Amino acid sequence: MEFYIGSQFSREFSFEESRVTQKLAEELNLFFKDKDYGERIKNIVVGIICVSKDFEPFFPVRRTKVMRKEPTISYEIKLDFESFKSSNVDERKLLLVKEFFKKTKEYLTEITIKDFKKDEFINDLEIYFKNISN
């Protein structure tokens, strides 16, 4: 399983502040490197959006997509700008992790994907996030 996490942050954030998503992708890829949940999904592409109110209309959250020709699922997550901006580095990571798990579980529960061990994946994701939250 491989994760690709991109981000759209408002100009109020520095490059370093927005790297929290890249660091999460690196950590997830290490944890899930040798895990297999079936042939249908091998890649998860997530877009993280955290923009100020002025930019909200330009960054709507697109719906979840399961690619037909690739073993990939794609979705977006919008973070609360005010909460994220007023947080320190550790709090930001926790906010990102909580929202990432919540939305991933929600999106995967809404859809049926043949040949994808969804429950096993969600369970492993929960184990991973519990370990880094402690």
Percent of the chain whose predicted confidence (pLDDT) is above 70: 99
Query: Judging by DSSP bridges, how do beta strands 72-78 and 65-66 pair with one another?
Result: antiparallel
pLDDT at 134 over 70: no
State which residues form the domain around 27: 2-133
- List the helix and strand counts (H, then E) for the chain: 5, 4
Residue 77: partners with Cβ closer than 8 Å, 6 or more residues away:
46, 47, 48, 49, 61, 99, 100, 103
Q: What is the number of structural domains in the chain? A: 1
* pLDDT tens digits along 22-54: 999 999 999 999 999 999 999 999 999 999 999
The residues with which 45 forms a beta bridge, in sequence order, are: 4, 74
For residue 75, the SS3 value is strand
Domain CATH number, residue 74: 3.40.390
Average pLDDT for the chain: 93
CA neighbor of 110 nearest in space, from 59, 65, 78, 80 = 65
pLDDT at 130 over 90: no
